[in-house]
Chains A and B, each alone.
Chain A
Amino acid sequence: MVAAAVLPARAQTFNLSSATTTLSTVNRLPPIWIKYTWKCRHASGAGCSSAELANPWFKQVFITSSGFVEAERDDFWTEFDRIIGFMTGNGAGNSWSAQQRERLLFVGYFVPGGALGAADAAFGGKVAAHPIRGFATSLSQTAVYDKIAQIRAAEISNLRPFTAGVLFNSFQTPVTANAAPPSFVQRAFGVAKFTRQDLNERGTYITTHELAHAGLNFLDEYVEKGFADLNIRQLDAITPLALFDWSWGGFVHAISDLLGVYDYNVSEILAANGNDNVTLTRWPATVYTPGYGVEDYVYEGGMFFGRGTWHTAGDNLMNSNYVVRGPGDGQALSHSGSQQRVINTAFGGGAGRPNDRLRNAGPKSGWPAVFGSSTHVMLYDGDKNHHFQPTQSYTVQVGWYERNWHTCWAVFVPYPCYDDIWRTAQTNVAPTARALDLKMSSLYGLANLTQGAMCAAGISEVPKPDGSGSFRLCDQDLNSVADNFLPTVKFSVPYQDVEVPASQWLTTYWWRFSTYNGVVNSGWTGWSSFYRSL
């Protein structure tokens, strides 16, 4: 029995540079002579098995290191244990990690390297100047994702993080922790970054908050100083600068004024694009779905701006006490109603509501003279990129009146007359990835503001124009970078085009759509029309 107990689990190999969780669970050997490369722990501190790692019921919190030299390996593991305690201990309140502690597996992986800022620091980690708050953690997210993929391929085949964090070996303060929500980086999880000093100063808040960005796709609900009275919709002044990329296909080239034809907005791309806890309007459901009520995102503020973004009531982890508009609009180790709904969906499956944040986004009116055999309508779907209940299909209906002629009589005189017969065609369309490009070089005087908003959203890294790597968006003053070195930021957008074979001249077509998220069909949007002149 003892011999069997000390045997490592089949999926793991025991050597001095890797963890043997079975061994550490049974024998609890002191770490002074075992150099762990990786560990897997339950919230209780008990080791986890290969079977548990493979079990999707468990959600993996992946923690790795940057700025730790080899001699500091044990320091990393000490902090790893503290992180588990911060997130799941009694001090974690009603935060998501405390609620779900039984379902979390903490996977730590030590990556040695140079000190922060050194050329050989793990993942290029450093503490860099930040456009908003002085100093912030910075690294190459691409390098982190590549490392995780490498670990999965070579060492931990069942590694599938729900959320990931990089612990920076720094006691500098203040240094802003940050994280990219996964929908902005189009990944299965985001990467959070925080320092050892963060653990000392506010360990529970920082870890649960940043890893909530990276795992639950939450946006911040607090307001940046100086922007308390300003509205995110004002940022739509830069929408004309956003360009449709190649993902849309050729039809966009036939239209010289896309903004005049379709209704798309930078504010929606930033704050109403799959992130459930923040919306652009107080009552975000635009269609009525039987059996579902109307949610009230009663308080304004979030995503940098004090106005124009909305969140539900309930003191919570993603908020602050800087702007408090009423009871339940503050900070706590807890969650608002919408956040709790997302947590329940993330851990329990299904969908907490219909995907009902919809709009027929064009053609706005009429259809300019267009040549070809089809028309493209545009759907706005605020849940197209929802991390846990993305739209799985659109049902689109197009209708028109058809004249059915017949012979009528005025006493003895025949004449042609007609009935208008309503015809409806319907199709189902799967969502496909669509993006808009924003060239930073086209922003001129708006570059800093846009940079600030994107950094607040967690967009910190974009590919360089010359393909030579990534541009760390939040590390530098864009005014000091030459135009041809400024990156193009690509946004996945909450819009979907649908090709409609409406080719009859001088005909008014009507259309509408609904969504299916795997659980529930939403209600229909209202009917919109476009008139095909030629």
Chain B
Amino acid sequence: MNGQLPSQPGRLVQWMLLGGAVLAFSLAWWGVRSTVRVGDVGTVGSAGGTDPTPGAPATTDSEERRKAVEAIVAARNRDNGLEAEKFRNAGWSMVAAEPPDARLTALDPALLEGRERELRVQIASTVAAPELASRLKHIAMAARESATRVAAVEALGRMGTREAQSELLALLPSLPADDDARQQIVPLLRPHALDDEFAGRLAAQLDGATLTMVEKKQLAFTLALVGLRDGMKLRGGTASPSAQKLIDQMAALAQRGTGEEL
């Protein structure tokens, strides 16, 4: 009949099954989770996690399964230590050191709160991966210290990728003209060649309102240098007559190697 409650023994079995499922799930989760440890040579402790413990005594089937898994484990561990041995053979020694902080190497902008100095060292002393261009742009705008913001701009300049160059260009209207970081941006803008689409975008800046007169001279000088290096000019119509005139003046300056103030 409907609405009839299960008998007491039946309810007990239900609870036992539920508890067993929860227990099994918990054990499985602790076991599969990978842990990170510093190598035995070091004195730094485990990064976290616990080693799983062996389960209940196995049946014959389970014994075979265990042996199979152990064989896999042994096979996968066979080459462990070979890399270290290769380094030792090349005269290196194995030492203890902390692994990289993933947040630092990923240039996590949240580190600007409380760890800005470390972030600045990471930015200034390495070449950032291409996918970090947008983070560098964010840091160039958000960092408290000028040194960090300048480092972020310089790091974008070093990357040399199209995306990094675009991020530099996008930074210009976001920073005031007298900002330390802003003043380092334009000299880092550089097309691969004058027939590059990016060269056209740069040339357009010469007529825009974003750049200061000094920045326009700098940008024109860069375009002139790239042109002189490659023996090329901007495609017709890429630059306005006044912009082209400024580029030509800068080219003349570069070709003379010296000159009076323009």
A: residues with CB less than 8 A from B are 131-133, 224-231, 233-238, 240-241, 259-260, 263, 281-283, 286-288, 294, 307-308, 358-362, 364-365, 374, 397-427, 443-446, 448-452, 499, 501-504, 507, 510, 523, 525-529
Contact = CB atoms under 8 A, between A and B. Distances in A.
Nearest to A478: B257
Nearest to A307: B187
Contact of A526 (B86, B126, B225): B126
B252 to A, nearest CB: 10
Contacts of B176: none
B24 A287 contact: no
A251 B215 CA distance: 40
A401 B151 CA distance: 29
B93 to A, nearest CB: 6
Interface stretch (B76-84, B165-173, B201-209): B76-84
Interface in B81-133: 81, 83-84, 86-100, 104-105, 117-118, 121-127, 129-130
B83 A400 contact: yes
Question: Chain A contact residues: over half helix, strand or loop, or mixed?
Answer: mixed
By size class, the interface of chain B is: 35 or more
Contact of A426 (B51, B93, B151, B184): B93
Interface stretch (B9-17, B29-37, B136-144, B237-245): B29-37
Interface string B1-43: 0000000000000000000000110011001101111111110
B260 interface: yes
A144 B159 CA distance: 44
Contacts of A450: 257
A227 B83 CA distance: 53
Contact of A307 (B66, B157, B218): B218
A515 to B, nearest CB: 12
Contacts of B226: 237
A1 B17 CA distance: 116
B93 A444 contact: no
A101 B181 CA distance: 43
B27 A410 contact: yes
A249 B83 CA distance: 25
B196 to A, nearest CB: 13
B34 A445 contact: no
Contacts of B38: 421-422
A235 B229 CA distance: 11
Nearest to A259: B160
A419 B83 contact: no
B253 interface: yes
Contacts of B51: 406, 419
A358 B124 CA distance: 8
Given A308-B187, A414-B62, A427-B93, A282 B150 contact: yes
Contact of B121 (A374, A400, A526, A528): A526
A400 B92 CA distance: 14
A416 B227 CA distance: 60
Interface string B180-202: 10011011101000000000000
